[in-house]
Amino acid sequence: MAKQYCEKCGKETEHKEWIQQKPSQYGKSRKEQLKAFLDGFFSGWGGHGLASIDLVDRYVICQACGNKKLQNHGEQFK
Ligand SMILES: [Zn+2]
C-alpha cells in the first residue's frame, strides 16, 4: 500500500493497487490467446516491461472511502 492523495477524502490516504486485465485485443481461440501471451512476454522483455503494461488497467483504491481511481501512467507505482 502507498499513500496517495484521494480527491474524495481531500487528503492523503492509504491506497491499494489493483490491476485489472484489459479486454484482449486478440481473439478468444487458444491460438490467439497464446499469441497474446507470447507478444506480451517478448515485448515485456524487449521493452523493459513497458509494453506489457498496456495489457492491464492499473487502479488505486482508497482504503478510507473505497474510491477507485484509474492510474495508467505507465510509471512505476511507488
Ligand atoms: Zn478516499
Ligand 1 centroid vs 9 CA: distance in angstroms?
4
CA 8 to ligand 1 centroid distance, Å:
5
Tell me the per-residue pLDDT of 6-36, one tens digit each, with 9 for 90 and over: 999 999 999 998 888 777 666 678 887 788 7
61 in any annotated domain:
yes
> In total, how many domains does the chain have?
1
Phi then psi for residue 46, to 5 deg, are -70, -35
- For 33-71, write each residue's pLDDT tens digit: 788 777 776 665 555 445 455 677 888 999 999 999 988
State the distance from the centre of ligand 1 to the C-alpha of 61, rounded, in angstroms: 8
Range of the domain at 51: 2-70
Kindly state whether residue 37 falls inside one of the protein's structural domains. yes
Distance 31 CA to ligand 1 centre (A): 42
In a domain, 77, yes or no: no
